[in-house]
Amino acid sequence: METKAIWLNGKLVPKADATLNFLTPALHYGVAVFEGIRCYATARGPCVFRLRDHIERLFDSARVLGFRELPYTVDQIVEACLETVRANGFEECYIRPLVWLAEGGWNLTVDGGKPYFGIAVWEWKQYLGAEAAERGVRANISSFTRHHPNVMMTKAKIAGNYPNSVLAKTESLRLGFDEAIMLDAQGMVAECTGENIFLVRKGMLYTPPDGTILEGLTRDAILGLAEDMGYEVKAKPISRDQLYVADEVFVCGTAAEVIGLREIDFRTIGSGRTGPVTQQFQAAYRALVRGTHPRSEEWLAPVHPRESFFEEAPEALADILDERLGLFEGGEVPDARHHRKTLEVVATRDPRPARRRAED
């Protein structure tokens, strides 16, 4: 399905009309910040994974870049993302909010122009290929170094940071690999071009500390899942040869999700296939984003307003119904959701929201 509408500065416009002036400084100097977010088909309809966290990071990126005032709030952009998905009718899609410097800024300061906002959505399947999850992919250590944190701002998703990733990824693909692993300015493993990296050795997980990397929300989700699954994770400097002798190496990001590296620099990693620990994280992550994991409720934002036949406190009632129907708790969704009688019976049993009842 094609993208139909794009949200530009507060309005949905047809895709063909969402064009920019060639004399937009953001295009010339990379003065823009963006996010990459995924919306998944779940039993509760399309749901966006960690939407608020992504939009908070977007605003943090804008602050890092130097914007002092933005014309929208986090809440407004969260709602605008949901509205854009709804307008395009996607069940699953990628969401790309972008804030860019427009109307001036040729003097190389963000104070010379105005921040404009746009949100596009499109259908995007497996970023590293259809077989990547099962087989794992091949990577090399890039000849390009990751940003020094006092040269480019590594905590922010600034458009102008990304030619570094483009250089590395283009080189890796031309060499016949699928992804590039980038070392930091000290020569230790930093991250991939659009993913964070973990290694597994003797039952322990290791990941580079967050000094020079983008603090990925998928990385953060993996840290939470690891705790649930009883794995100890150490964030410590990792050398490239520590990757070579790992039992498993996997990368994670919104676009790539969780993907094993089966080979690095022509050295087979572990068994040469996606390893058992990586598989466990893939399964947990899949459940998480599909709405069947205990942590799903906290992190999934439904695209469509919850349906309720009750005029009073429809949100609270929807909470109760979701709990009773097993949504977000591993349950298949029964069609009963749309059955007025069942809903009434369930809801009248205890009219207080599920969360409040649990706290009593």
- Cα–Cα distance, 33 to 23 (Å, whole number): 18
- Cα–Cα distance, 209 to 213 (Å, whole number): 8
217 touches ligand PMP by CB under 6 A:
yes
158 touches ligand PMP by CB under 6 A:
no
Of these, 30, 36, 224, 302, which contacts ligand PMP (CB under 6 A)?
A: 36
| Number of residues lying near ligand PMP (CB under 6 A) | 12
Residue 165: DSSP 8-state: H
Contact in structure between 285 and 225 (CB atoms under 8 Å): yes
Cβ distance to ligand PMP smaller for residue 113 or 208: 208
Q: Minimum distance from CB of 49 to ligand PMP (Å)?
A: 10
Using CB under 6 A, which of the segments 69-77, 86-94, 127-135, 193-201 binds ligand PMP? 193-201
CB atoms within 10 A of CB 115: 24
Burial classification of residue 360, based on how many CB atoms lie within 10 Å of its CB (0-12 exposed, 13-18 middle, 19 or more buried) = exposed
Using CB under 6 A, which of the segments 136-144, 192-200, 230-238, 351-359 binds ligand PMP? 192-200
Residue 286 CA to chain centroid, in angstroms? 13
149 touches ligand PMP by CB under 6 A:
no
Cβ distance to ligand PMP smaller for residue 169 or 324: 169
Q: Minimum distance from CB of 256 to ligand PMP (Å)?
A: 8
Of these, 84, 196, 207, 278, which contacts ligand PMP (CB under 6 A)?
A: 196
Active-site annotation holder among 11, 157, 236, 341: 157
Residue 218 CA to chain centroid, in angstroms? 6
Residue nearest to ligand PMP (CB): 216
253 touches ligand PMP by CB under 6 A:
yes
Helix 276-290, helix 217-228: angle, nearest 10: 110
| Helix then strand then coil, % of the chain, to nearest 5 | 35, 25, 40
Q: Minimum distance from CB of 90 to ligand PMP (Å)?
A: 19
Cβ distance to ligand PMP smaller for residue 181 or 327: 181
Cβ distance to ligand PMP smaller for residue 138 or 219: 219
Whether 157 is catalytic is yes
Q: Minimum distance from CB of 194 to ligand PMP (Å)?
A: 4
And the tokens for 218?
A: 């998928």
- Cα–Cα distance, 85 to 106 (Å, whole number): 34
224 touches ligand PMP by CB under 6 A:
no
Q: Of 35, 56, 65, 264, nearest to 172 (Cα)?
A: 264
202: left (phi over 0), alpha (psi -120 to 50) or beta: left
Residues 6+ apart with CB under 8 A from 14: 4, 5, 6
Cβ distance to ligand PMP smaller for residue 214 or 316: 214
97 touches ligand PMP by CB under 6 A:
no
**Annotated active-site positions, please?**
157
Binding stretches for ligand PMP (CB under 6 A): 36, 191, 194-196, 214, 216-219, 253-254
